[in-house]
Structure 1
Amino acid sequence: MVLSRFWLAIFISSIVFVVCSLFTGNTYTIDFILNGKKDDPVLIAEKYVHQLPVFIKDSIEKAPEKTMVINTEVSNPDTTYVFSNKTVKIYSGVQKSDGLLPTCKNSLLDLIIPLIAYLAFFCGIMQLLIDSGASEKLAEKLSPMFLKIFPTVPKNHESISYMTLNFAANFLGLDSAATPFGLKAMQSLQELNPDKDRASDAQIMFMCLHAAGLTLIPTSIIGYRAAENASNPADVMLPCIITSFVGTIAAFLIVGIRQKINFKSASLVVALITLIAAIVGLLFYVNHLDLIGKNFFTSNLSGLMLVAIIAFTLVFSFFREKKFTEKNTTIFDAFVTGANNGLKTGVTIFPYVMGMLVAISFFRNSGLFEIISNGISFLFSNIGVSKEITDSLPVAMLRPFSSGGSRGFMIDSMRNFGPDSFTGRLSCIFQCSAETTFYVIAVYFGSINVKNTRYTLATMLLVDLICVVAAIFVASWFF
């Protein structure tokens, strides 16, 4: 219900703002909101040639292809004058994201189809884990700890193994693998849910822990920093780990208090100490590596772990081939069955994803998001927050809505302020330490047709805010 109302709110407010802007003359056309593409120039006016200043008129008539570009600055978009059929069209600035119709198309072609491919492969692998009995053994080993976090989940339930694989993929920055594991976990938890239209406690806890995004190897962030020629692309690794760990603990405590979980459980304490020890050990190891060693380690660990999971699954399945025979199937047929289930899941979540992305696209292109963002930055700057922090806030603000949009702001901040600047580094930490909240809710709950998400959205947004505050403190401490 909360998600539905929020979706309506951003859609309707954006439409009202666009219509008002058009009739007050602040916007010349709304076609770009419907049909425009990201980074295309925006039409802001159209005039007859004689209405332009003389120097512009003369320059256009002499220019090749009757096109003139002025105000060429690296930091600001160019203003372009294009002469056509007795009038001059004036373009300035670039579009923030794809328009409504391109978003509908791209959400299918660029997002859902690749996602379906990932789902098909990893759901096939997960089917092998199920049929071979590997998931059952994994659940058996982890049940003592998971029973304390998810008290409504029965001992040795298959959802435990799926959640474990999802968390592991997130730890290693493997988004393509984390999503299929997470969707399978939600479907498995839905089987235990007595009210199919209402999110269960276990589903909410899983979603909030997933959204906190505890990451040990932020491979994509390091890759972007390397592409922008940072002196040490991996120098944000430790701040990213600390910030995401703070977010994870916050999510666990907030949801745990709401669900009255026993925090004094010995197994929980042991699990937490083990996790902290693993993080500290990893940090000490990476800290002793030189620059080349850090880059080699961070770029290969995630890939090796993923290959290891796939190899283990296949080898284990081979040695447990009798299990497949007992079920009147083969290893390959079981893989195909799982892949087919993954394909169906991808088709199911498409409308949820498209609906959310279209609303976000409208929100950004309307200009309303930019006004809110600038207003918050202005407010923070007036209460003494440094400009280095306010310059990076657009990444934090857009992150819950759009991973691609916040990634664009992150790259832009590194290019404008430098990858080794405080703003550039803080933007990277923002990007790494939180999840695309609205997209995740649409995908995960959409895959099981849950209508009432209860307090999931509010908790995830609160965790996002905690991650933002933690990122600022951690970045100030390190840099």
Structure 2
Amino acid sequence: MVLSRFWLAIFIASIVFVVFTLFSGNSYTIDFVLNGQKGDPILVSEKYIDEVPVFVRDSIQLKADKAMIVNRDLTNPDTTYVYSNKTVKIFSGIQKADGLLPTCKYTLVDLVLPLIAYLAFFCGLMELLIISGATEKLAVVLSPVFVKVFPSIPKNHPSISYMTMNFAANFLGLDSAATPFGLKAMQSLQEINPDKDQASDAQIMFMCLHASGLTLIATSIIGYRAAANASNPADVMLPCIITSFIGTIAAFLIVGIKQKINFKSASLVVALITLIAAIIGLLLYVNHLDLIGKNYFTSNLSALILIAIIAYTLILSMVKEKKFADANTTVYETFVVGANNGVKTGVIIFPYVLGMLVAISLFRNSGLFEIISNWIAFIFSNMGVNKQITDALPVALLRPFSSAGSRGFLIDSMNTFGADSMTGRLSSIFQCSAESTFYVIAVYFGSVNIKNTRYALPIMLWVDLICVVTAIFVASWFF
């Protein structure tokens, strides 16, 4: 219900604001909201050729392409005058996001179809692990901890192994594997959900822990920083780990208090200490490496682990081939069945993702997001917050809505202020310390047709806020 109302609110508010700017004269056209593409110049005015400045008119008439570029504001893209059919079109600024119709195409072609391919492959592997008995053994090993965190889940339930693999994939930066494992976990939890239209306690806990984004190897962030010529692309890795770890603990505590979980359980304490020890151990190892060693380690660890998972699954399936025969199937046929289920899941979630991304597209192109972002930055600057911090806030504000959008702000901030600036580093930490909340909710709850997400969205947004505040303190401490 909360998600539905929020979706309606940003959709309607964006449409009203777009229409208002058109009729108030603040916008010349609103076609870009529907058909424009990210990075396109925006049409701001149209005049007859005798109405433009003389030097512009003379220059246009002398140029073969009938176009002229004028530097009006060095902080923004150039203003362009284009003469066509007796009028001069004036373009200034660039579009922040794809329009509604290109977003529809992007959602299907560039987002959902690749996601379906990932789902097909990894769901095929998951089916092999299920038949071979590996998931059952993993569930048995981890049940003592998981039944404390998820009291409503029966002991040794298959969802335990799926959630474990999702958390592990997120931890290692394996985004392409994390989503299929997570969707499989949601489907498994839905089987024991007494109210199929409403999110269960276990599903909410899983979603909030997943969205908190605990990551050890921020491979993509390191890649962006390397491309921006950072002196040490991996220097934000430790701040990212600390920030995401605090976000994960916050998510666990907030949801746990809401669900009355027993935090005094010995198995929970042992599991938490083990996790902290593992993180510290890896950090100590990475910290003693030189720059080349760090880059080599961070770029290869995740890939090697993913390849190891695939190899382990296939070898185990070959060794346990008798189990497949007992189930009246073969290893390859089992993979195909799992892949087919992954494709079906992708088709189910497409409308949910489409609806959310279209609303976000309207929200960004309407100008509302920019106004809100500027006001928040203004408030913080008047509170005495360092300008280097306020310059990075657009990444934090957009991250819950759109990973691609916040990534654009991240790259822009590094290009504008420098990858080794406080703004560039803080933007990097913002980008890697949390998930795209609204996208995640649309995908995961949409995959099991849950209509009432209960308190999942408010808690996930609170965790996002905690990660933002933590990132600011951690970045200020380190840099």
Q: TM-score range by the shorter chain?
A: over 0.9
Shift in Å, 1:62: 1.1
8 Å CA contact retained: 1:100, 1:361: yes
CA distance in 2, matches of 1:439, 1:69: 39
8 Å CA contact retained: 1:392, 1:413: yes
1:166 paired to 2:196: no
CA distance in 2, matches of 1:220, 1:136: 33
Per the alignment, residue 152 of structure 2 pairs with 152
CA distance in 1, matches of 2:169, 2:423: 28
Per the alignment, residue 212 of structure 1 pairs with 212
CA distance in 2, matches of 1:24, 1:138: 62
Counterpart residue type for residue 415 of structure 1: N
CA distance in 2, matches of 1:352, 1:76: 35
Counterpart residue type for residue 288 of structure 1: H
Per the alignment, residue 410 of structure 1 pairs with 410
What SS class does the counterpart of residue 37 from structure 1 fall into? coil
Shift in Å, 1:359: 0.2
Per the alignment, residue 89 of structure 1 pairs with 89
Per the alignment, residue 321 of structure 1 pairs with 321
CA distance in 2, matches of 1:349, 1:125: 20
8 Å CA contact retained: 1:41, 1:94: yes
Per the alignment, residue 345 of structure 2 pairs with 345
Superposed CA deviations along residues 263-304 of structure 1, whole A, max 9, x for unmatched, are 000000000000000010011000000000000000000000
CA distance in 2, matches of 1:367, 1:47: 24
- The 5 Å alignment of 1:46-445 reads 46-71=46-71, 75-445=75-445
Superposed CA deviations along residues 368-402 of structure 1, whole A, max 9, x for unmatched, are 10000001000100010110000000000000000
CA distance in 2, matches of 1:263, 1:77: 54
Task: Provide the TM-score with structure 1 as the length reference.
Answer: 0.99
Shift in Å, 1:476: 0.2
Superposed CA deviations along residues 222-251 of structure 1, whole A, max 9, x for unmatched, are 011011110000000000000000000000
CA distance in 1, matches of 2:64, 2:477: 54
Superposed CA deviations along residues 20-68 of structure 1, whole A, max 9, x for unmatched, are 0000000000000000000000000000001111111111111230000
What SS class does the counterpart of residue 198 from structure 1 fall into? coil
CA distance in 2, matches of 1:75, 1:325: 67
Shift in Å, 1:73: 6.6
CA distance in 2, matches of 1:124, 1:227: 35
CA distance in 2, matches of 1:309, 1:74: 51
CA distance in 1, matches of 2:324, 2:130: 10
Counterpart residue type for residue 248 of structure 1: T
8 Å CA contact retained: 1:212, 1:463: yes
CA distance in 1, matches of 2:78, 2:366: 20
CA distance in 1, matches of 2:165, 2:57: 64
CA distance in 1, matches of 2:448, 2:324: 28
Q: CA RMSD in A?
A: 0.7
What SS class does the counterpart of residue 445 from structure 1 fall into? helix
CA distance in 1, matches of 2:208, 2:214: 11
8 Å CA contact retained: 1:159, 1:189: yes
Q: Percent identity?
A: 78
CA distance in 1, matches of 2:125, 2:148: 28
8 Å CA contact retained: 1:402, 1:439: yes
8 Å CA contact retained: 1:403, 1:436: yes
CA distance in 1, matches of 2:172, 2:440: 18
Shift in Å, 1:75: 3.3
What SS class does the counterpart of residue 155 from structure 2 fall into? coil
What SS class does the counterpart of residue 39 from structure 2 fall into? coil
CA distance in 2, matches of 1:199, 1:68: 57
Shift in Å, 1:76: 1.5
Shift in Å, 1:74: 6.1
**Over 4 Å off, 4+ runs:** none
CA distance in 1, matches of 2:311, 2:188: 24
CA distance in 1, matches of 2:236, 2:72: 33
CA distance in 2, matches of 1:111, 1:20: 32
Task: Provide the TM-score with structure 2 as the length reference.
Answer: 0.99
Counterpart residue type for residue 43 of structure 2: L
Counterpart residue type for residue 341 of structure 1: N
Per the alignment, residue 458 of structure 1 pairs with 458
CA distance in 2, matches of 1:81, 1:433: 42
Counterpart residue type for residue 181 of structure 1: F
What SS class does the counterpart of residue 65 from structure 2 fall into? helix
Counterpart residue type for residue 297 of structure 1: F
What SS class does the counterpart of residue 65 from structure 1 fall into? coil
Structure 2: where are the runs of 5+ without partners? none
Counterpart residue type for residue 311 of structure 1: A
CA distance in 1, matches of 2:216, 2:89: 50
Per the alignment, residue 11 of structure 1 pairs with 11
CA distance in 2, matches of 1:54, 1:73: 20
What SS class does the counterpart of residue 64 from structure 1 fall into? coil
8 Å CA contact retained: 1:169, 1:175: yes
8 Å CA contact retained: 1:75, 1:416: no
Counterpart residue type for residue 304 of structure 1: L
1:35 paired to 2:65: no
What SS class does the counterpart of residue 46 from structure 1 fall into? strand
Structure 1: where are the runs of 5+ without partners? none
Superposed CA deviations along residues 383-432 of structure 1, whole A, max 9, x for unmatched, are 10110000000000000000000000000000000000000000000000
What SS class does the counterpart of residue 17 from structure 2 fall into? helix
CA distance in 1, matches of 2:451, 2:400: 20
